[in-house]
Each structure stands twice: as structure tokens, then as C-alpha cells.
Amino acid sequence: MTPPIATAADWKTEPLPARHITLALDFSLDAAEAACVRLGLIPLEMEDKWFLYYAGGTLHLHRSWTGFCIAQVHFIADGEGLRAISAEVNRDPAQYTGSDDAADAALIERMVRGLQASQRYLAERQAWLSRPTQPQ
């Protein structure tokens, strides 16, 4: 089952604050990974921590509890896949306590590359939660 395509309207979101930095990125995704980026990620509940949606060549990463934008990752076409070229990362300490550029770049790449597993997990969990209850 293919998860729904996430859009900005699917969850509460806040804009990236004025206090942010731009990081250079350079990692490529194959066609399957790029398809997962384009789908984004809609949490089943706030405890799932992240809401991600892709629009206009940019993957928006928001915390599910607050809607705070933690990063916006910019991609360009790369064959059948995508290549991450830069990201704006939140540096407002009232919204995000991260301040290590290298750690944030690594987090972004891990999250992007892990989208397929996250999407599969949420789909399986949704199916389990939607199953009919069996009489005892």
C-alpha cells in the first residue's frame, strides 16, 4: 500500500524562522529514495515526532508536536533520482536546540535516506490499528 502524498495542509506547520543558517549538502538519491522524498511523511499521531512534505523541489521537515520547521532541504534532479544541494536549518533556540552544523547535515541525510523505512512502519502500524477487533 502506497502512503498518501503529504502536503503542507496535512499537519499544523510553522514557517522557518528568520534565525536560520544555510548548509551546503551533496548527497544523491536513487529513483526509489526520490519517490519516498516526494511522498513525504504524515505522522499517525504527534508522538511520531516528524511531519515531512515535499513541494517545489524542497523537503520541509517539521516537528509534529509544535509544527516548528526544523529544516528545508533543497533538491535538484539527478538522473532518475534527486541530489540534495542545500538546506536551511532552524537556529532559533526557542524552537530548536541544535547548533552543530555537521550533526544537522548528518541528521538530514539520515532522515531522508530513512524515509522508506519510516513510511513502511507507519503504513504497517496504520493497518494494524485499523484491523477489525477479534472477539475474545
The pLDDT of residue 2 is 65
The pLDDT of residue 107 is 95
Place of cell 544523491: 28
First to last CA, the chain: 29
Could you tell me the pLDDT band of residue 48, with boundaries at 50, 70 and 90? Answer: confident
Could you tell me the pLDDT band of residue 57, with boundaries at 50, 70 and 90? Answer: very high
Q: Is this structure's pTM higher than 0.75? A: yes
89: nearest Cα among 98, 81, 80: 98
Q: Is there a contact between 61 and 108 (Cβ–Cβ < 8 Å)?
A: yes
The pLDDT of residue 116 is 77
Could you tell me the pLDDT band of residue 117, with boundaries at 50, 70 and 90? Answer: low
Domain ranges for the chain, please list them. 21-107
Task: Report DSSP state, residue 14.
Answer: -
SS3 50: strand
- Asked whether the predicted pLDDT for residue 105 surpasses 60, the reply is yes
The pLDDT of residue 46 is 62
The pLDDT of residue 67 is 96
Higher pLDDT, 95 or 121: 95
